[in-house]
Amino acid sequence: MGLEEKLPSGVLLTTVEQVAGYARKGSLWPATFGLACCAIEMMAVGGPRYDIARFGMEVFRASPRQADLMIVAGRVSQKMAPVLRQIYDQMANPKWVLAMGVCASSGGMFNNYAILQGVDHVVPVDIYLPGCPPRPEMLIDAILKLHDEIQATKLGVNAIKAQDIQESLALTAPATLEMRGLLP
Amino acid sequence: MNTDLGVFGNDPWWIVVIKAIAIFVVLVLVTLFTIWWERRVVGRMQNRIGPNRVGPLGLLQSLMDGIKLALKEEIIPKSAYRAVYWLAPVISATMAFIAFAVIPFGPEVSILGVMTPLQLTDFPVSVLYVLAVASIGIYGIVLAGWSSGSTYPLLGGLRSSAQMISYELAMSMSFVAVFLYAGTMSTSGIVAAQEPIWYAIILLPSFLIYVTSMVGETNRAPFDLPEAEGELVGGFHTEYSSLKFALFFLAEYINMVTVSALATTLFLGGWRAPWPISLWEGANVGWWPLLWFLVKVQLFIFVFIWLRGTLPRLRYDQFMRFGWKVLIPVSLVWIVVVATARVIRNEFSIATEDILLWGAGLLVIVVIGGWILQWRSSRKEEQAEELAALTDDGPFDPMAGAFPVPPMPGQEFTYTSRVSQRPLAAATVTPAVTSGPSSTHLPDDDAPKESSNA
Ligand code: SF4
């Protein structure tokens, strides 16, 4: 509703943050949106063996207005990119994007003119899931990590503070070129 | 029977307030529980576990859904008609709530020393009131579809209104037999009239028609055409997000509870205890009946969930044909039978009720059986016609529609134009290709044989 963003900083805000995070991660409704082979694994996650319903996520919404999470499951062609962006725009805030599979994350093996080299060219991605295709367990793992992130999301003034901290960290972070040894 | 209504309308104002709030709270709680219950039961039916992360056994799942929806951004499309767009979910939800005012939860009990029936109010035509309120609820859906300023909601809204109006007809007609037997339209009177025997038993056809039409009336599977994702995205609520969508969701589930409660009241003896328990004297006094009532309502809700977990969705024309050509005629015939039986009993008092009911049952069976026979024979004729039409127009040409298709039953496959050109093409092919394991040449060898057979 937007009211929760206007609370003053303090115990009230952090409590609301906790409750909102818990509710949002407890009922993260994905949009019905499959693009390629990865979508088959996404469907398997809804089946009895993996059962995403345990996290209250079996409610795949047909209308993006009611969805919270867009699982980009598969390669995005140049022609699909505007459609994908439109669906993202139609979703109501707060919304999250999960890039599933190497194709959605970076273009993967399809290094050609027809395929978008990573869906982060058109929408902001919250979590990348590698693999070709990632197994349903990996998708569940990514979703659980996203849940943690959602639980830790800040609201209102705290969100602005968190953004500032992140920005200052990013400014001082070493470039990949300057990194030495094993990657973290 | 109308003298019974004397107990209503004499409550002090604070009792009325308590009852109204209690109904509101019970409905919200039942809705929250039903959503969780549905997801768990459907999960079990599909060999899954279902929501189990939020709260014990996942019981808080629907509450979390509600909080999350409330915290979501509210989107109003630019082309939406704002006032109506805002009003539509409110109409739906309020109508769903107020329909419950006349449902009897139990007999007279004492609340803080005041003797009062467990029912907000009642009047001589309260079943008609429920029907009227349910019809107003349909406005919410139509207006939501229309005011969204988008194609899919409009189509979904039209579809649900057409569906609900047609099934409401069959539903109200199934009530007529109950009215004839009970001699009253007040819910408490109908419950009282069922003391000797439930109407679900003596008016079985009405009960079956009602149970069928109540599924259609609430837009639930297998009649959930307005929410067919493959055709209409989300139906009338496609453009709704946040709390307004939650209101529609709430209204849908409360409607489910309302029709179940109405079924309980009209056919399953309302709050009266079922047979083995009714032998106990204390079963129908005090607060116990509330339990029987809720259990019976839950039974119906379970049937709803069961249907959803079992049946695929009907096609729109099948669904409409079923409503208009089966449910409504059958209920009309049944009403005539019941009315005749009542008149004969009242006028002549020669035959006992049971004998007439047996006769009536026989008549219904004859009607339904005749209808099924006719339907089957007409279908056979249609099939024969189709087959004749297929086989009649000349030899089968797989390339008639510009791309090759397999033959239909009754059609004979013969090699035609495309294959007959093959030898020409094959003549130009070099020997190097023919010596390879090429499959392109097999038809050439077969073609003359096939055509000579034909
Ligand atoms: S990552 Fe692999 S499985 Fe997934 S869409 Fe790309 S090619 Fe298909």
- Using an 8 Å Cβ cutoff, are B104 and B117 in contact? yes
Going from the C-alpha of B419 to that of each of B324, B442, B443, B452, the distances in angstroms are 51, 11, 7, 14
A91, amino acid identity = M
Whether residue B39 and residue A62 make contact (CB cut-off 8 A), yes or no, is no
What proportion of chain B, given as a percentage, has pLDDT over 70? 84
Please report residues of B whose CB lies closer than 8 A to that of A87.
none
Please report residues of B whose CB lies closer than 8 A to that of A65.
75, 234, 238-241, 245
Q: Write out residues with Cβ below 6 Å of ligand 1.
A: A 36-38, 74-75, 101-103, 108, 132-133
Q: What is the pLDDT of residues A156-167, one digit of tens each?
A: 788 888 889 989
CA nearest ligand 1 atom 8, residue? A37
- Closest approach of chain B CAs to the CA of A18, in angstroms? 12
Among A132-146, B51-65, B109-123, B190-204, the range scoring the smallest mean pLDDT is B109-123
- Closest approach of chain A CAs to the CA of B51, in angstroms? 4
B126-153 mean pLDDT: 87
pLDDT band at B390 (very low <50, low <70, confident <90, very high): low
For residue B415, the model assigns a pLDDT of: 62
B129-134 mean pLDDT: 88
- Per-residue pLDDT at B320 exceeds 50: yes
- Per-residue pLDDT at B146 exceeds 70: yes
For residue B381, the model assigns a pLDDT of: 85
Residue B204: which of B372, B343, B331, B104 has the closest Cα?
Answer: B331
Please report residues of A whose CB lies closer than 8 A to that of B47.
48
**B24 vs B351, higher pLDDT:** B24
- Using an 8 Å Cβ cutoff, are A45 and A139 in contact? yes
Best probe residue, ligand 1, of A35, A100, A103 (max atoms within 8 Å of C-beta): A103
Tens digit of pLDDT at every position of chain A (184 positions): 567 777 777 777 788 888 888 888 888 899 878 888 889 999 899 888 888 888 888 888 888 888 889 999 888 999 999 999 999 998 888 899 999 989 888 888 888 889 988 898 899 999 999 888 899 999 999 999 999 988 888 887 888 888 899 899 988 888 878 888 776 6
Q: Choose the closest CB to B54 out of A51, A56, A61.
A: A56
B274-290 mean pLDDT: 74
Q: What is the pLDDT of residues B397-429, one digit of tens each?
A: 777 777 778 777 777 776 655 555 555 544 444
CA–CA dist B58, B44 (Å, integer): 14
> Which chain B residues have any C-beta within 8 angstroms of a chain A C-beta?
39, 43, 46-54, 58, 60-61, 64-65, 67-75, 229, 233-234, 237-243, 245
CA nearest ligand 1 atom 5, residue? A74
Among B35, B41, B53, B78, which would you mutate to test the A interface (most chain A Cβ atoms within 10 Å of its Cβ)? Answer: B53
Q: Chain B: residue nearest A47 by CA? A: B48
Mean pLDDT of chain B: 79
Please report residues of A whose CB lies closer than 8 A to that of B229.
32, 62
- Using an 8 Å Cβ cutoff, are B99 and B116 in contact? no
3-state SS assignment for residue A32: coil
**B202 vs B434, higher pLDDT:** B202
Q: How many CA atoms lie within 13 A of B133 on its CB side?
A: 22
CA–CA dist A12, B427 (Å, integer): 87
- Closest approach of chain A CAs to the CA of B68, in angstroms? 5
Among A5, A28, A65, A153, which would you mutate to test the B interface (most chain B Cβ atoms within 10 Å of its Cβ)? Answer: A65
For residue B1, the model assigns a pLDDT of: 42
**B437 vs B408, higher pLDDT:** B408
Q: Choose the closest CB to A53 out of B43, B70, B243.
A: B43
Mean pLDDT of chain A: 86
- Per-residue pLDDT at B450 exceeds 60: no
What proportion of chain B, given as a percentage, has pLDDT over 90? 2
Please report residues of B whose CB lies closer than 8 A to that of A144.
none
Going from the C-alpha of A140 to that of each of A52, A112, B128, B373, B431, the distances in angstroms are 8, 30, 51, 53, 58
For residue B100, the model assigns a pLDDT of: 86
Q: Choose the closest CB to A54 out of B51, B233, B234.
A: B51
- Tokens for B151? 């194609």
Residue A96: which of A14, A151, A51 has the closest Cα?
Answer: A151
- Per-residue pLDDT at B227 exceeds 80: no
CA nearest ligand 1 atom 6, residue? A103
Distance A141 CA to ligand 1 centre (A): 18
B447-453 mean pLDDT: 43
Report the relative pairing of strands B106-111 and B114-118 from DSSP bridges. Answer: antiparallel
pLDDT band at B454 (very low <50, low <70, confident <90, very high): very low
Among B7-16, B60-69, B426-435, the range scoring the smallest mean pLDDT is B426-435
Chain A / chain B CB contacts < 8 angstroms: 104
Tell me, letter by letter, the H, E, C secondary structure of chain B: CHHHHHHCCCCCHHHHHHHHHHHHHHHHHHHHHHHHHHHHHHHHHCCCCCCCCCCHHHCCHHHHHHHHHHCCCCCCCCCCCHHHHHHHHHHHHHHHHHHHHHCCCEEEEEECCEEEEECCCCCCCHHHHHHHHHHHHHHHHHHHHHHCCCHHHHHHHHHHHHHHHHHHHHHHHHHHHHHHHHCCCCHHHHHHHCCCCCHHHHCHHHHHHHHHHHHHHCCCCCCCHHHCHHHHCCHHHCCCCHHHHHHHHHHHHHHHHHHHHHHHHHHCCCCCCCHHHHCCHHHHCCCHHHHHHHHHHHHHHHHHHHHHHHCCCCCHHHHHHHHHHHHHHHHHHHHHHHHHHHHHHHHHCCCCHHHHHHHHHHHHHHHHHHHHHHHHHHHHHHHHHHHHHHHHCCCCCCCCCCCCCCCCCCCCCCCCHHHHCHHHHHHHCCHHHHHCCCHHHHHHHHHHHHHHHC
- Using an 8 Å Cβ cutoff, are B286 and B194 in contact? no
Q: What is the pLDDT of residues B69-78, one digit of tens each?
A: 888 888 888 8
- Using an 8 Å Cβ cutoff, are B94 and B17 in contact? no
For residue B354, the model assigns a pLDDT of: 64
Whether residue B48 and residue A53 make contact (CB cut-off 8 A), yes or no, is yes
Whether residue A1 and residue B240 make contact (CB cut-off 8 A), yes or no, is no
The residue length of chain B stands at 454
Whether residue B68 and residue A27 make contact (CB cut-off 8 A), yes or no, is yes
- Per-residue pLDDT at B434 exceeds 70: no
B310-326 mean pLDDT: 84
Whether residue A92 and residue B241 make contact (CB cut-off 8 A), yes or no, is yes
For residue A146, the model assigns a pLDDT of: 92
Best probe residue, ligand 1, of A35, A37, A128 (max atoms within 8 Å of C-beta): A37
**B12 vs B57, higher pLDDT:** B57
Q: How many CB atoms lie within 10 A of CB A2?
A: 11
For residue B217, the model assigns a pLDDT of: 83
The number of the ligand 1 atom at minimal distance from the alpha carbon of A37 is 8
CA–CA dist B23, A1 (Å, integer): 27
Q: How many CB atoms lie within 10 A of CB B412?
A: 9
For residue B350, the model assigns a pLDDT of: 55
* Direct distance between the N- and C-terminal alpha carbons of chain B, in angstroms, rounded to an integer: 80
**B342 vs B295, higher pLDDT:** B295
Distance B225 CA to ligand 1 centre (A): 34
pLDDT band at B2 (very low <50, low <70, confident <90, very high): very low
